[in-house]
Amino acid sequence: MTLPAASSRPIVGMFWMFSAGLSFVVMTALVKSLGPTMDPIQAAFLRFFFGLVFLLPALRLVLATHLTRKHLTLLGVRGIVHAVAVMLWFFSMTQIPLAEVTAMNYMTPVYVTLGAALFLGEKLAFRRIAAIGLAVIGVLIILRPGFRDVSAGHITMLFTALALGASYLIAKLLVRDLPPSVVVAHMSIWVTVALIPFAVAVWTWPSLRDLGILFLIASFATLGHYLMTLALKAAPVAVTQPVTFLQLIWATLLGALVFHESVDVWVVAGGTLILTAVSFIAWREAVLNRSSLTTPSIAPKL
């Protein structure tokens, strides 16, 4: 069976995914640079609040799209789930090194694969089960329980990937009926609203420096998602997925050079195993010519 026609532009797709990876790593580094100056929940709220500016081009389509009660329910649930993921992710960024956040985020498509089998009726063949097992081994290599302290940041990052996986599955249900731009816009709106009470509870007036950094975070997040969309249009996920390994390299280098974090070869090794498993799942989906339901990009959905 042949791959989709988009694979005829693999170099273009890989370049756009490479650029998207750089944007996402810069975004995570900017989040890290906030340090203890702002509560992570407030930072998460302001990131999405500023991000609403980039939704203005889609506003007319959002208002014109008819939504059923089912759509509103799914959009609301997704907004709450994604808001939880964002709060956990911002907290994790204050607790553990950049490389570990990046490596553990690779688990999101694995959770999506499991969720599709449990809730959407997809079958798990032995090869995909083996790939999931490989990813779990990768997580254990990163965490090394019993050999190092597993911090709260590691635990919240595990749940971040789980929540992002759930958000992705709900999105795939929604795009069956709604334009993707509408689904993305509603996600941003619902997440912003869901974060308001949590942000109010910890609110302190941010400095101009922090506001500037948060606007840059929103800008690079939006740019990363746009570049990722270009990558997926140019080539299938099976082609672009391995390029995301470079995110781990950039995160490791930034962590070492900018934030003086030690380079942990176990984290790189574990992240490589997880990415290998995810790339194999993506490749199998492409070979079988199935929909990309269980093979999302592993870039941060933030």
228-251 tens-digit pLDDT: 777 767 776 666 767 777 888 888
- Sign for the CA dihedral angle at 191, 111, 89, 28 comes to negative
Q: What's the DSSP call for residue 8? A: G
CB-based contacts of 95, cutoff 8 Å, min separation 6: 151, 152, 153, 154, 156
Mean pLDDT by 10 residues, the chain (302 residues): 49 84 87 83 91 84 88 93 93 88 85 79 78 88 82 91 89 83 86 95 91 90 81 70 78 87 88 84 66 47 58
User: The whole model's pTM is what?
Assistant: 0.82
The encoded tokens of residue 297 equal: 């990009």
Task: Say if 301 falls within a structural domain.
Answer: no
- Does residue 292 fall inside a structural domain? no
Indicate the number of domains in the chain: 1
The answer to the question of residue 156 being in a domain is yes
**Residue 108, domain member (yes or no):** yes
Query: Does a structural domain hold residue 179?
Result: yes
Cα end-to-end span (Å), the chain: 35
Residue 258 located in a structural domain: yes
Residues of the chain with pLDDT > 90: what percent? 21
**Predicted local distance difference test score (pLDDT) of residue 123:** 75
Q: How far out from the chain centre does Cα 250 lie?
A: 16
Provide the residue type at 179 as one letter. P
Alpha-helical (H) ranges within 107-235 are 108-119, 126-143, 152-174, 180-201, 208-234
In a domain, 230, yes or no: yes
Q: Report the distance separating Cα 227 and Cα 60, nearest Å.
A: 23
Range of the domain at 186: 5-287
Does the residue 188 lie in any domain?
Answer: yes
**Residues ≥6 apart with Cβ < 8 Å to 148:** none
Q: Are 241 and 20 in contact (CB under 8 A)?
A: no
